[in-house]
A and B are shown apart, each in its own frame.
Chain A
Amino acid sequence: MSSAKCSLPSARLAAFVSLAVAGAALLVFSCSSDPTGTLGSDSDLLGSKPGTVYQDTIGVYADTTYAFDTPISTDTDLEVGRQDGYIRTMVLQPGFILSDGRDVTESGDVKRTVLSASFHFYTANISQSFPVRFYGTGHYYSQGDNISDLDTLMDADAILDPVAGSIERHLETAEPLYPLPPALVQDWIRDTTKREAVAIVYTDSLNERVATIPASETSDHPYLQVIYTDGVQRAYNIRYDATSYRPVAPATHLVVSDGYARRVYMRFTLDELDKDSAVHTARVRFHIVPGSVIEGVNPTLLLYIPDSTDPAKSDFKNGQRVTEQGITISDETVEFPLTNAIFLVLQGKLKDNGFAIRFKNETTELRQVELYGTSAPDSLRPQVFVTSSTPAVFH
């Protein structure tokens, strides 16, 4: 009996010692905090091996600059003149809309006879004689229309100053009235098909300067003042106005610009990449032509995949935005990350329509950057850097 009493504590002790040893060992091993190592098994026994990483520089081709005759029509100032390599031409489209919303042809004015007519607009930034001509463009423009044929205006298209008897005019700050031939304005009032926009063109090819005129969005907006022979005087607001920017000289490099909207279009030799590859990084790098940057207020470039490869189609102007990148005058290069875009193009989830670059918020201000294209020396050509990897191999 006594031996049984003695053995019971010892048995319990042995059991608890065993349990304690087990618990302590587990605790010690569980609490270990060795850093994560790189220990791996033999790839042959493993039955698989990771994919191979490639870093390639793939080519760019079919890089082209496409221009769109889209004027800036939303700015609060219109511009006339020549500066920074761009000719500015102001375009005014008289509207002949009465305050009640009717066209003038539906009013009694259409039976009246025009005695005199003048454009009225204020001008700023003029310190000396500022020679211009007014041209009839032969087109009626509305908001969003492209401006065309400004390069082919001829003397015969110029609108005579009936007071001075000449087509040569000067912008004035003191007297903001610019006479127009009464017969011309009479035709505009009576025949809607004869209405046309007037282009105000700077004619001094020696001096670079720009005059600004408050646009129709302002309280000092331009208008057409008409005095009829019966003494009635009307002021017809300018319904549409815009500044058209045209480069003085054609560009020799790729150009992205706003004002005179130009976009760069290019394609990459994506067939050099395995479509089964994963793309880890991809970016395209352009070298900027020194001194070519006109910053404007928001010099941000936007790269996108156009919905069409044909710049003549409106779909070319739209597409899948990829990325945007700001530039400054001092930049020597600009890079656009393309990782997801190239991967998704390889996967067929995005159209393989190439890539286009434009300014963000296009047709808002004059901006420009020139980029070296594929015709430039090797060190300056655009390049696409891609880091990709093949899928893992499972045996």
Chain B
Amino acid sequence: MRRHLYSGLLCALVAVGIAGSAHADSIFALNLVGEREDIGDARITALGGYVQTVDDSLGVLQYNPATVAWLKRFSFGVAGYTTSDKNKNLDSETRSNSTTLSQLLFAFPLYHHRVSAGVGFRGRYDPDGKFKTPGVTSEGDEFIDSYERTGGLFSVPITVAVDAGNYAKVGFFYALERGRIEETWVKDFSGNAADATSDRERVFRGHCIGAGFVSRPISQLSIGLTYESKIDYHVDVSERFTSASADTESTETASMPSRMTLSAAYRLASDVTVFAGGTICDFRKFEGMNFPSERLAEEKIGSLGVEYRLGQKRVPLRGSFTYEQLPYTMPDGQNIKRIAFAVGSGRIMRGGRGKVDIALQFANTGSVNNNTYSDRSVRFFLSITGSEDWKRQRGRQQ
């Protein structure tokens, strides 16, 4: 049994390694703090994202900290996705592929199946992206301005959840908020001409607290509520240029507004459950990074999902629709919308102590006509979760 657990851990490490080369590469990731990372595992994604009320003893990777209360054994989970983005404007289009580790969590019981705790990693915003712009000098020499942004914001939440029965599961978390966003401009001349680079690196440090609540007032219905506080970042900014005389070091602050999430699940029949969820983060209160405040907007996400269990093996078939409004507008004030459809499935393994979930999401962000740019993406999600009873293992060894 432990061998399988180690295999799972190995998979998690491999996923982390892959994520080291992550690159979102959506054109919309280039703005503000980047593209919001899809949270949760492949099951959550297939059901719409911020549903967060999936009562699952292997549901390690949910946004609501109260869901940790379901975990009665030592559990782990890792989730990630690979994306193919097709960015487009009136003149051209580009396609890029990327891989992202979105979430990792280890959870364990603390006290008599009533109190559980967890520590993990959760991606927040992915600012990766790049593009090239051709130029020509007054003498007719051609050059290319290449822009690339890498890094991201992430969270390390430490969660404690209490299981007070069906009527109340409550969770709290304290999270270290960290991140780094690096931007590089390269002016690339052909031939023997020297290139020039300009680089800005911003290192973010902050913390966040939050709480979640899940209740099942009736057997068919679960509801959940999550609150995440404002995050005040201390930002170290360093700018490096080809000409070192222009280098600078400075500090700034940034403030990420609080987020509220509400979700519900209702079992229509023994084989069919519908999920609904929504979240609001008022980015008009965002401060820092010198982003034009008049172009900030309220980030709104709403989703609807359904899960159907097919056959005697109860193979899950999932589908969802998600609507999202990005937290900023285009320069002329147009809102940017993202619409996503997702399908997925999963498989229970090891007698219910492990599972693999997959999801495929088709999304469209913005439109060329309204927003100058559009991004059509296809994402394949994979998550692996597992659990182990440490006490029993130790007993056998003794």
Contact = CB atoms under 8 A, between A and B. Distances in A.
A47 B93 CA distance: 22
9 interchain residue pairs of minimum CB distance: A11-B311, A29-B84, A278-B196, A392-B198, A7-B311, A37-B92, A276-B246, A278-B242, A392-B185
A51 B138 CA distance: 15
Interface string A70-108: 000000000000000000000000000000000000000
Interface in B286-313: 289-292, 295, 310-313
B93 A391 contact: no
Contact of A46 (B91, B97, B147): B147
B187 A50 contact: yes
A8 B311 contact: yes
Given A44-B331, A53-B143, A280-B187, A30 B311 contact: no
Give the bracket for the number of chain B residues in contact with chain A.
35 or more
28 contacts: A8-B312, A11-B312, A12-B315, A14-B310, A15-B345, A18-B343, A19-B358, A26-B360, A29-B84, A37-B132, A40-B133, A40-B147, A42-B372, A45-B292, A45-B295, A45-B328, A46-B147, A47-B289, A50-B145, A51-B198, A55-B137, A280-B187, A281-B193, A343-B243, A346-B245, A387-B193, A391-B196, A392-B185
Contact of A44 (B289, B292, B313, B373): B292
A230 interface: no
A55 B372 contact: no
Given A19-B358, A278-B194, 19 more contacts: A12-B315, A21-B360, A34-B93, A39-B27, A39-B89, A39-B91, A39-B94, A40-B131, A41-B373, A44-B292, A45-B31, A55-B137, A347-B244, A387-B193, A391-B196, A391-B198, A391-B241, A392-B198, A392-B200
Contact of A37 (B94, B135, B183, B187): B94
B241 A276 contact: yes
A139 interface: no
Contact of A53 (B89, B93, B187, B243): B187
Contacts of B88: 39
Contact of B183 (A36, A39, A48): A48
Contacts of A174: none
A343 B84 CA distance: 42
Given A18-B345, A45-B328, A38 B95 contact: no
A249 interface: no
Contact of A29 (B94, B243, B358, B378): B378
Contacts of B82: 26, 30
Contacts of B291: 45, 47
A163 interface: no
A347 B245 contact: yes
A10 B308 CA distance: 14
B243 A32 contact: no
A25 B94 contact: no
A19 B381 CA distance: 11
A47 B134 contact: no
Contacts of A277: 243
Nearest to B359: A22
Contact of B378 (A18, A26, A44, A394): A26
Contact of B87 (A30, A39, A46, A279): A39
Given A276-B245, A389-B187, A39 B137 contact: no
Nearest to A19: B358
A389 B185 CA distance: 12
A32 to B, nearest CB: 5
Contacts of A19: 345, 358
